[in-house]
Structure 1
Amino acid sequence: MANVTFKGEKVTLVGNELRVGQQAPNFTVLANDLSEVTLKNYEDSVKLISVIPSIDTGVCDAQTRRFNEEASELDGVNVLTVSMDLPFAQRRWCGANGIENVETLSDHRNASFGEAYGVLIQELRLLTRAVFVVDRHNKVSYVEYVSEATNHPNYEAAIQAAKEAK
């Protein structure tokens, strides 16, 4: 498993660490309208999946804004942000901040995404910061588990990977 810290303290990630070349695991999360969403909802498209601990924190806010800005340049790429925040909080935050190019998804119900992608922090029941790019055939083409969950991911590398994914 990836070695990850949260505010300097080592944390335990639940699930299996993903690797480039693997088939992306399925998951079930909630959209802002409480409908269930799975990987199949994005069949035949590239997915840039931004994973954050909580939308209401500084780095998570900045990460979501950055990918929202970049999404308009990522033709044919679905940009998704997954967190444990309630769908209501995600919808409120997106509306208040003019976020229209990123789809926020909630893993709060049963941590399906967190366990499938190896990002669920056991001690906090939050997701650690990570970025995945999954191609149109659902193969993982980019993985970043951010080693300190309060740090930013490598935006440029993730964006480049999304542009190159087919």
Structure 2
Amino acid sequence: MSAAAGSSDRTGPGTPVTRYGKTLELQGDAKKIGDPAPDFILPDLTGKEIHLSSLRGKVVLVSVVPSLDTPVCANQTHRFNQLASDLGQDVAVLTVSADSTFDQARYCKVNDVRNLIMLSDAQRLAFGQAYGVRIAGKTVLARAVFVVDRKGVIRHIELVGEQTNEPDYAAALRAVHRLREET
């Protein structure tokens, strides 16, 4: 699958990413389509540790946002929350940010977000490192969308080139629907 214009279908150092036109350097392990999705353990809103491997057998859409306190991240989270309500039990939709679980819970309560599994990478930025979306010198992650198949393989990546833009929701949904049809 191809990435949207101005976006990349890979992550990691050397992948072009900007914010308001200023180049940002990514840190972490480069990822590309076809790579195994690294397992992770991140706390949800209640502090319960969620493992990616516990979702094996489902199609998993991972929406990565820099901070829920920005309009673009809020829009992205709201949009995936709406879309998740129509995807069914065989799809898990996650949002990962470097916000604390407290900040994520506050955001979800105020904005009535109920259809996503919210995960915090605030403590160690381990997800950002493992997926190549950690922004060097910052405590935030780069805006991206990953779709992982039922066997744990990355089948879609959109690293949003200009971080003030939203991702291509239609492309992510096409990837999810295509994988749902595979047996």
Same fold (TM over 0.5): yes
Tell me the SS of whatever aligns to 2:50: strand
Which of 123, 132, 147 aligns to 1:109? It is 123
Match of 2:158 in 1: 144
Which of 132, 137, 147 aligns to 1:133? It is 147
1:22 aligns with 2:35: yes
For normalisation by structure 2, the TM-score amounts to 0.87
Q: CA deviation at 1:56?
A: 1.2
Which of 60, 64, 67 aligns to 1:51? It is 64
AA of the residue aligned to 2:94: L
State the identity %: 43
Q: Distance in 1 between matches of 2:87 and 2:17?
A: 29
Tell me the SS of whatever aligns to 1:70: helix
Tell me the SS of whatever aligns to 1:20: coil
Structure 1, unmatched stretches of 5+, are none
Q: CA deviation at 1:35?
A: 2.1
AA of the residue aligned to 1:50: S
1:162 aligns with 2:176: yes
Q: Distance in 2 between matches of 1:24 and 1:17?
A: 11
Tell me the SS of whatever aligns to 1:158: helix
Match of 2:112 in 1: 98
1:42 aligns with 2:78: no
Contact kept? 2:53, 2:152, Cα under 8 Å: no
Tell me the SS of whatever aligns to 2:106: helix
Tell me the SS of whatever aligns to 2:145: strand
Q: CA deviation at 1:103?
A: 1.2
Q: Distance in 2 between matches of 1:100 and 1:80?
A: 11
Match of 2:7 in 1: none
1:80 aligns with 2:94: yes
For normalisation by structure 1, the TM-score amounts to 0.96
Tell me the SS of whatever aligns to 1:81: strand
Structure 2, unmatched stretches of 5+, are 1-13
- What do the CA deviations read for 1:6-59 (whole angstroms, capped 9, x no partner)? 222111111122111111011221111122222122121110000000011100
Match of 1:64 in 2: 77
Superposition misfits of 4+ residues, deviation over 3 angstroms: none
Contact kept? 1:5, 1:11, Cα under 8 Å: yes
Query: Is 72-81 or 127-136 further displaced after alignment?
Result: 72-81
Q: Distance in 1 between matches of 2:129 and 2:38?
A: 10
